[in-house]
Amino acid sequence: MSFGYNSMGVKPSGGIFSPIPDGEYILKIVDTVEGRTKNDDYKVTVDFKVETGPYKGRNIKFHTVTFFPITDKENPPAGAGMAIHFLKCIGQPFEGNFQVDHMKWRGEMVKGYVTSEEYNGKVNNRVKGIESVMEKSLQDMEQSVPF
């Protein structure tokens, strides 16, 4: 495929970006892509954008939420609860039988714990854990009540 493009007035940008410091950030889900793992389990790859603070606008890409099949409800596979926690934090269905619609995840916000990891000589940010922005707000409000 080829197409025309007018780049007048645009200066080249890009290059190597340094990761943001490890810490807690309010993150917005900006993109989701459904796929399959090497073991053929369902997964959704999530891209986040930092929503507040000095790093507002920075992207954190390629967070994977894997949905491991539950064949024995008495002994679910290790890691299965992580996808359920993710869904709960973003206000999506997470109990019993339900349809996963990753498109509805876009625009949802979470409090994310961001770390840096080195892979193939390059340091990238990773989301290591999340919690609901709403739950955190309620906890903060409860702690600030003077009586």
**33-79 tens-digit pLDDT:** 999 999 999 999 999 999 999 999 999 998 999 999 988 888 988 88
Q: pLDDT tens across 74-101, in order?
A: 898 888 999 999 999 999 999 989 999 9
Q: What is the DSSP string of the chain?
A: -------TTPPP---PPPPPPSEEEEEEEEEEEEEE-TT--EEEEEEEEE-SSTTTT-EEEEEEEEE---S-TTSPPTTHHHHHHHHHHTT---SSS----GGGGTT-EEEEEEEEEEETTEEEEEEEEEEEHHHHHHHHHHHH---
Q: pLDDT tens across 2-43, in order?
A: 888 888 888 776 666 789 999 999 999 999 999 999 999 999
Architecture of the CATH domain 23-144: Beta Barrel (2.40)
Q: Could you tell me the residue ranges of all domains in the chain?
A: 23-144
